[in-house]
Structure 1
Amino acid sequence: MVKSMGNYILIWFFLVSIVPLNCEPDHLQSWKNFWSISDSAFRKLGNYFDNQLTPLIKSESISSSCQGSLLKFIDGIKNFDIDSVRMFDSWGKLPSGLLFGSWSDLGSFDQCVSLENSQYCLLTGSMPLPSKRQHEGLFIPLDKSSFNLTDPLSVHLYPYAHYFHNVNLTFGVCAPRECSPQEMTLIAKSLIHSYGLQMKVNVDLCQHRAKSGNQILFREYVALIIISTVIALNIFGTIYSTHPFLGHFNFPLNWSKLLSTTNNQPNRSYPFIECFKFFAMIYLILTHVGWAFNHNSFHSIFKIQSMYKGILGYSLLPSYMGSEVYFLMTGLELMTFFLSFKGKFTFSSAISFLLIRWARFVTLIGFYISLYILVFSDHVRDLVGGPFWSHLYSATSIPGTCGERWYSHVLLYSHLMANPDNWNLCMMPDWFLQVDFILAFMFLLVLWPLRMSHKRLSISVAMFFIFSGSVILGLVIYYKSASPTWLPYNYVNQQLAVYLAYVHSQPYTHMSPYFIGVLLAFVLQSKDPIIKRKIHLRFMWLLWFIFNTIIFGYEFYINFNIGTMSSTVSIIYASFSRILWSFLFAWPIYCLHYGFVPDGLYRFTCSGFFKPMARINLTVLFMNEIIIRMRNATQIYIADPTFFNTFISIGTPVIVFTYALSFIVSSMVDGPSISLVKSYLKKDGKYDEYLKKPNVNLNNNLISSTQLEKESSKKD
């Protein structure tokens, strides 16, 4: 408070001193007056610090080096030492709009870290609240019985008091480097408690700029070598485009393949499927934009509730199931291929199928691990980092974890062994690939009876997996006491960690959509539609509407705290909601396939625009996390949580940069890796002819299966 008053007094006297009192003011005298007033104000401020802080600083719990640096800082304030004044000037102050949720002032981050012996930290404080309940979120206010105050201030703040479970009063603090965060926390607590406020206070996320630069670590050398190698291969591949190996890295050619709007396979069964993939990814990206922003980086946070209570907020409620669309598509495409596959499929073919699928993923994972290590390194932090660089939603411990745990991501098992008490993960998006790989194993169990001419058995196994996936999911939720859904408007807590570890990132959760896609392939195999009478079509659309209502109704009811839902109902919903969600996409696919939609809609879904956009979906999934984390890590201003600012000024650039960089990375990494896998399988000596084909298929699911057919035909 004193610091804030000192700043306001300083600004006031500055303005008074420079206001012209006549037509020809004496500017030199005005600057002298400004100095005199400033010097006097800081002497008084230094004396106040001396009286209030010196006894706390001289505590036995404060190290001698910290004591000396703080006493030197106070003495510098008294004597107007410019570095001490600049350090004080870098502090955040009490912001306007406190009663409307403006609880953060980051101060001057750049000024603080530019000082030689200073460090920038975030001081956070929150009012004490009743013990946390199992669920805490934006729309779950405190029980009135535990907050039965009647004064005007408490009555006004009651609808938002529960925010303190997740959002803090946050201020930038510029302090001497000799003081540890623990020592500054102790001093801040003692000062706050001396006023009778039992606030929770913490000083953390401290950072400074290394005087002689940061040491290049071994993991950074390795990551730099990998990234540099990829870039060099693309340069030489472009120059020596006819070389048998380097030619796969011909960047202009891979770029043209990526941007091609023609069908890679003229006789494809589902030319509209890229439309579904594109919109599913956009749905996920919008969700990440809405969920992954740090609320401490906004002012007027009381407006967040009203922002989410709009059409966009409603539509994003079940978006945690957006990934199920891809599992549905994967099962559909793979089984569609094998239903028309005429070659032999032996045990060695199955092993090849899995190895090729792993090879397809591992190159991209390895590249992004290297990118994470470099982008979130201390070197980049010192160049572009902001106050929240080490925040949970920013860089946190990504480089170190990637350096230590890279092999668990490359071998596709890191998320399968996730512990909600200690994630220890390098990156999050690859959970999708790990689940996909496990489901590919299970897919072979469905495929094997089909290859033995036991089609009904194959269908029965797929149906068993659909049912068993739902049952296992319900049992896990029950025995692990996990949340039945993501609950996006709840705060990040242990409950979410349990859900992510035991539900969201596990294969059994996604078995039902995957094998519904497999069953859909059997249904669409028939030239004559199974369902074609108008009355039956209308009934199916009625079911589609009912399932939509169930999903959005439940999510609305739970997330906006309309009431409580029994645990039995919640577990049943969690177990079977993904089956309902899969139907919401499977039925439109059925209608598009058999022409039960207007011609204009069919032409739109088959538009060439969706083809290049869908080809980069895997890259987008990884790049989006980097862009959002970097946005949070480099932010040095407090944003306004309005729809326009959040989704236009912030969200749109995030999406644009995500897709733009994904096109580049896909052409440099994805395209060459796919081309190399195909070339390895081709083995027919016609490399030049193959490489120059403009319609080389880049579909993620059919890379291995298409080549299996060619390989098998050669053996025959």
Structure 2
Amino acid sequence: MAMMERLVVTVIVAVQLLHGVAVIATPKTVDLIKSVKLNGLKDEEILEALSLNKTENSDNYTLAELIDHLGNHTAANQQPAQQDRVWIINSTETLHTNTFYENFAEEIDRESGNLLELIPAYLPGTGPVSAECRRDSNIFKRELNKLSLWALKMFDATAKIPSGLLNGNVNQFGDFDECVGVQGSEGIQGQYCLAYLKLDMDDSRPDLKHLHRLLHSHYAFNSNLTDPGHRVPRFSTVNWAVCTPASCSPQDVEVSLRHAIAKHTAQTGLKISVRVDSEMCQRRRKDSYPMEMIVASCFFMGVIALAVVASVYDHYELSASELLLSFSLKRNFNKLISLERGEGDIASLHGVRALNALMLIVAHKSMAMFFNPYINRTEMAEYLGKPWTVIGRAASLYTDPFIMLSGLLTTYSFVGRLNRTGALDIKREYLSRILRLVPTLGALIIFCTFVMPFMGSGPQWNLVVTHHADICKKTWWRNFLFVHNYFGFENMCLTHTHHLGIDTQLFAASPLIVFLLWKRPKIGTVVLTVLAVLSTMLRYKVTYDRQLNNYVFFGTSIKQLFDTANHSYILPTHRLTVYIIGVLTGYLLRTFPKDYKLNPIFVNVGWLVSTLMFVAAFVGPAPMGSINYIYNPIHGAVYNAFSPIGWCILFSWIAFLSHTGNSNGILSRIFAWRGFLICTRLSYAIYLTQFPVFFYNVGMKRGAEYYGFIGTLLNVKELTWILISSVILTLLFETPFQNIKNHLLRKPKMPVATEPTGNEKSKSE
């Protein structure tokens, strides 16, 4: 083997000598290096063979000298620092120019020319841009032609035309971290901009219609550049990343990008509109944090410290005030996992709440995932264009039972108090609700507004995280007054909390409604029935007149979704029907004794009617999910008017039968499972935390992934974080303030000899 290697060395030397004249004439010996295979030889053997052929008076280059000339400092006698100097760039430093350009200008010019001819570079200095942007763009162009590393990184980080366009792989995020990490010559820094492109066809080119449909994934959602994109994704808008010098303003990027696109799309049959928002251009974040973030973080650390101190006092049974012990993690965790039912507990309602909470998570996740790029987005749209996708499209249905349950439990509690005392302490009821809702909501607003924006970064981070925080900084007070649902879906702080506004406004009117029903049952029933009918008619009329649709049908527009929310979905007058169903059910549960036996025929008819209404509400709109569905306002009006009734009637019937002892079937037993008690205690926090978790992951997403229904929709890691966040929020805020509420509003015991009965305090809330 050694003889073979020496023979190869001899051949190499011979080739080197034959090319001696060319080597002397020019130091550009790259072709010689490339023509010789050196991988199988050791440096020591090459040097030894060459030294035998070298004389003191020779002016010819040896191979060793040639290697040294090219800067390949890998000889065995050199230090590691010398070896790394050329080929490895320190992570804290970036070369501002290509140091090899002086010696290899011709080769580099040829290679850069070939590269840029194959993949044209986006130059942000083209068109009527600012002088600073044009200057830095020219520097970028000059250094890119030299193949300088920082310029190559900026070029590399910009999105390129990918494969799979006809399968919907049109959203290209480039390389976010590579771009914002660029540090170039003359103070140039990298800036990442996510531009929005709208692709339209020339009306004279019907041959492009099918291709356009595939590019836009069958128009699962129709959107425009002017649609708000922070809550509902602009699905038919293309997201395209460009990396530019930081001196280029978003307007400069938009102008230059429009100029570059026009040059490449002329006479192609495509019309491309461009929009670059200032919030979608990002640079490397500074290390320092604003004071508001520091104060908010200290607040949460203080609450954690308070909980730890309270836990120590509680665990060692040290003397402490009841207010301090309200924050004990030990006490609150035991309450969370307790399977003991409170007096007056309506067992089946916990299962109803758990089922709809799970369905709501799936529906909300279905909406959030449309923000992300997918390499098979067209295939995803075709997959989701099936009738069974009603599971994710009928999101509005899953919030109706919570409104119904609110009316039911409020009435059940109020009627119990009226039966005992004949009056309601309205101030006490309102204060109780504020103490139950506001602390947890306030903690979430503080976290999402001042802390969460600094917990990550990504191409869409400013859109789905920072933008929401900016809205909350301006409009947080509306949430605390529970009137935020009247100011438009797109301008709402923590949009998903609109339900709290609706529920609180209905609760504010409930004392009058319940008192009328309790005092004059017949008149109250008639009045409530008329109100429910009017609310149903109102939903039908508004949906039909404004061409709305509460069902997310295939091809719906973003404008239609926002209009539906603003003109119907977030208004208490439109959600009054299901609240009244809950009020009437709660009154019946207090009126009928638990051992009241109904006629079996009546029970069977009730099961049949409620089940048919439930199935019709859920399955009926399924054809609207078809990929070929054409919008009909009558379909939308019927669905919006009657589906909430059909969906909630079954749950109301189950609660009534189970509580009065008329049903012990498998469905009633499932809904009454004790494990659902934990879900009930976490339901408020789960409702609050799911969208922040979804949007955090959307904001952090760096690139396209493959869509798979189970893996994408039921993301175990995401669901785990929702659960963890909910437990933390419950233990640190909701349960402690529930304890404080119970302590502050506890009525003093009467000085009597006997123990008070269990009916003196309702725990149904």
Change (3 A) 1:146 1:376: farther
Change (3 A) 1:591 1:240: same
Letter in structure 1 aligned against 2:284? R
Contact 1:357 1:704 in 2 (8 A): no
TM-score, with length taken from structure 2 = 0.76
Structure 1, residues 277-312: CA drift from partner, whole Å, max 9, x if none?
Answer: 111101100111111123452221111223324575
Distance 1:662 1:231 in 2: 15
Letter in structure 1 aligned against 2:728? I
Structure 1, residues 346-384: CA drift from partner, whole Å, max 9, x if none?
Answer: 46x11221222123211111111101113433x33xxx2
Letter in structure 1 aligned against 2:290? I
Give runs of aligned pairs for residues 425-574 of structure 1, distance below 5 A. 425-450=492-517, 453-478=519-544, 481=546, 483-487=548-552, 489-491=554-556, 493-524=558-589, 525-527=591-593, 532-560=598-626, 564=630, 567-568=633-634, 570-574=636-640
1:343 maps onto 2:420 in alignment: yes
Change (3 A) 1:22 1:69: closer
Give runs of aligned pairs for residues 287-686 of structure 1, distance below 5 A. 287-310=363-386, 313-341=389-417, 342-344=419-421, 346=423, 349-377=425-453, 379-380=454-455, 384-391=456-463, 394-415=464-485, 417-419=486-488, 423-450=490-517, 453-478=519-544, 481=546, 483-487=548-552, 489-491=554-556, 493-524=558-589, 525-527=591-593, 532-560=598-626, 564=630, 567-568=633-634, 570-595=636-661, 597=663, 599-648=665-714, 651-684=715-748
Structure 1, residues 108-161: CA drift from partner, whole Å, max 9, x if none?
Answer: 21121122311111244342148xxxxxxxxxxxxxx99732799579769837
Secondary structure in 2 matching 1:465:
helix
Distance 2:204 2:614 in 1: 37
Residue of 271, 288, 297 corresponding to 1:224 = 297
1:674 positional shift? 0.5
Q: Which runs of 4+ in 1 moved over 6 A?
A: 16-22, 25-38, 49-54, 154-159, 161-164, 528-531
Secondary structure in 2 matching 1:172:
strand
Contact 1:334 1:705 in 2 (8 A): no
1:449 positional shift? 2.7
Contact 1:520 1:586 in 2 (8 A): yes
Moved more, 516-525 or 319-328: 516-525
Distance 1:703 1:609 in 2: 27
Aligned to 2:53: none
Greater CA radius of gyration, 1 or 2? 2
Letter in structure 2 aligned against 1:504? Y
1:684 positional shift? 3.7
Count matched residues.
Answer: 646
Change (3 A) 1:706 1:50: closer
Change (3 A) 1:430 1:206: same
Distance 1:513 1:114 in 2: 53
Change (3 A) 1:124 1:346: same
Distance 2:475 2:173 in 1: 34
Secondary structure in 1 matching 2:465:
coil
Distance 1:425 1:58 in 2: 39
Secondary structure in 1 matching 2:722:
helix
Distance 2:41 2:529 in 1: 90
1:540 positional shift? 2.9
Contact 1:376 1:398 in 2 (8 A): no
1:58 positional shift? 5.7
Distance 1:168 1:20 in 2: 51
Secondary structure in 2 matching 1:149:
helix
Distance 2:201 2:220 in 1: 8
Letter in structure 1 aligned against 2:173? L
Aligned to 2:179: 112
Contact 2:685 2:730 in 1 (8 A): yes
Residue of 287, 290, 294 corresponding to 1:213 = 287
Secondary structure in 1 matching 2:160:
coil
RMSD: 3.8
Residue of 261, 278, 290 corresponding to 2:339 = 261
* Percent sequence identity over aligned pairs: 19
Distance 2:71 2:201 in 1: 49
Distance 2:521 2:208 in 1: 71
Letter in structure 2 aligned against 1:521? G
Change (3 A) 1:25 1:419: farther
Letter in structure 2 aligned against 1:258? L
Distance 2:236 2:462 in 1: 16
Contact 1:237 1:247 in 2 (8 A): yes
Structure 1, residues 597-639: CA drift from partner, whole Å, max 9, x if none?
Answer: 5555444322221111111111111100110010101111212
Change (3 A) 1:309 1:593: farther
Secondary structure in 1 matching 2:242:
strand
Change (3 A) 1:486 1:314: closer
Contact 1:50 1:74 in 2 (8 A): no
Change (3 A) 1:535 1:546: same
Secondary structure in 2 matching 1:175:
strand
Structure 1, residues 678-707: CA drift from partner, whole Å, max 9, x if none?
Answer: 100115499xxxxxxxxxx9xxxx999649
1:87 positional shift? 1.6
Contact 1:681 1:707 in 2 (8 A): no
Change (3 A) 1:49 1:620: same
Distance 2:211 2:764 in 1: 70
TM-score, with length taken from structure 1 = 0.81
Structure 1, residues 540-572: CA drift from partner, whole Å, max 9, x if none?
Answer: 333234323432444223332665565456434
Letter in structure 1 aligned against 2:580? F
Change (3 A) 1:450 1:313: closer
1:385 positional shift? 0.8
Aligned to 2:755: none
1:98 maps onto 2:146 in alignment: no
Contact 1:234 1:251 in 2 (8 A): yes
Distance 1:161 1:599 in 2: 45
Query: Larger relative CO (CA 8 A, sep 6+): 1 or 2?
Result: 1
Aligned to 1:189: 258
1:578 positional shift? 1.6
Change (3 A) 1:311 1:235: farther
Letter in structure 1 aligned against 2:493? C
Distance 1:549 1:18 in 2: 75
Moved more, 279-288 or 97-106: 97-106
Distance 1:437 1:155 in 2: 44
Secondary structure in 1 matching 2:244:
strand
Letter in structure 2 aligned against 1:672? P
